[in-house]
Amino acid sequence: MINFNYETDFNLDNEEELATWITGVISSEGYKLEEINYVFCDDDYLHKLNVEFLNHDTLTDIISFDYTVGKLIQGDIFISVERVADNAKDFNVEFNKELQRVIVHGVLHYCGYKDKSETEEVLMREKEDFYINQLD
């Protein structure tokens, strides 16, 4: 089950389509969906979580808490729509494309992909692009 929650004045207009897409990503990676809770929020909300739980006093676009057990995906993904909008402008991409990237990024972490090294980051970006292109 995928749940979409809103802690700001933002709402997805295609929840069902995104839930089907996310479930397909998880299945394609050889995992099974248990439950993911997406929480869309603003910079202040996400900054507080970043400080409290990760000791990072910085703004970020996404924080994911992974409760996956074996191949059963579970977690909470917090996304700052303000950060996504700013990043979309910085990267000169549409807001919805950047939002899709962040949405799938959290899921790919749950599927075991990392992005700490340059090599890992390249693979993560390739996977993001591959799955985003499936939505077109």
Which residue ranges are tagged as binding site?
A: 105, 109, 115
What span, in angstroms and rounded, lies between the C-alpha atoms of 92 and 97? 10
DSSP state of 69: B
Annotated binding-site positions for Zn(2+): 105, 109, 115
